[in-house]
Amino acid sequence: MKNSSNKTLLPLIIAATLVVSGCAGKKPNTTLEAAKATYERVSNNEIVNKHSTEDLNVARLKLDSAIHAWKDKEPKSEVDKRAYIAEQYALIAEHRSRLLYNQSTITDGKLLRTKVQMELRESEARKLAAQSAELEQKVRLREEQLQQQLAELEELKAMQAKDSDRGMVLTLGDVLFDTNEATLKPDATNNLMRVADFLRKYPDRTVVIEGHTDNTGDSQYNMDLSSRRAMAVKNMLASQGVDSNRVTARGLGEHSPVASNANSAGRQLNRRVDLIFTETESVTITAIDE
């Protein structure tokens, strides 16, 4: 039977979302808007409503969950994840219905005039079945990766890493080295052990280590000292089983301060080592061509 409930509920979902966004004045979520547009297009397809109502119902529930997350002001990453999954289920409904439609036409003798036509339709059905299975697998993989990325971010935040336009940055202040030294203090390895554990647990992550100094003394000396300190941190991670190819070490000397060097408090903030964790790669899922 045709799933009229999806057509009835969709305008209510979209209208309710527009009212809430208009009243609250919240910035629209582009991923959520794309998911709603995809669901609206797919749900208006008669073939989808006839052949793939179960997948369409799942897509509607997933979309409703994403809308509630957005209305409840949950983190953008959570809204994006739910909206993305909703959109993929809508695409699955579209492609599965096309597969079932082709299968039904194959069994309908009125539409099959020759053996060649039947073979061509069977070939198309097998192709669509393979594409549908591949898409479902990618959706599952993407959902698993999203869960892992969320877990990684939580662990980084637990280490006091901060989000920035360069990625997640963990700043280790003036606690790793003695003055003018590039040898790690014995008690400085505790923080770095957590970093090593994290990198071993998530082998797709890489890290850039930046050494920084204040402006006291010779500029070239400070550049060399910051480089040797960054390399000391890299060597420590390597000694804990982290592949050195995943770690880049560089010194920036006194050239990237985060505070004024005019006072001791500012100089202490500038004497630091920053660890910048790169983002993991994501799987991109695109719709199958018509």
Mean of pLDDT values over 50-73: 87
For the chain, the average pLDDT equals: 81
Q: Report the distance separating Cα 205 and Cα 203, nearest Å.
A: 5
Residue type, 96: R
**Both tokens of residue 123?**
């070939």
Q: Which domains does the chain have, with CATH numbers?
A: 4-157 (no CATH), 159-277 (3.30.1330.60)
Name the nearest CA neighbour of 67 among 12, 13, 23, 7. 13
Question: Which of helix, strand or coil describes residue 8?
Answer: helix
Residue written as tokens 């203090």?
185
The first and second tokens of residue 94, run together, are: 């579209």
Q: What residue type is assigned to position 43 of the chain?
A: S
pLDDT digit string, tens, across residues 5-56: 555 555 555 555 544 444 345 678 998 999 899 999 988 888 888 877 788 8
* Mean pLDDT to the nearest integer, 66-90: 89
The number of residues in the chain equals 290
Beta strands in the chain (DSSP E): 162-164, 167-172, 207-212, 247-251, 272-277
Beta strand ranges found along 119-206 (DSSP E)? 162-164, 167-172
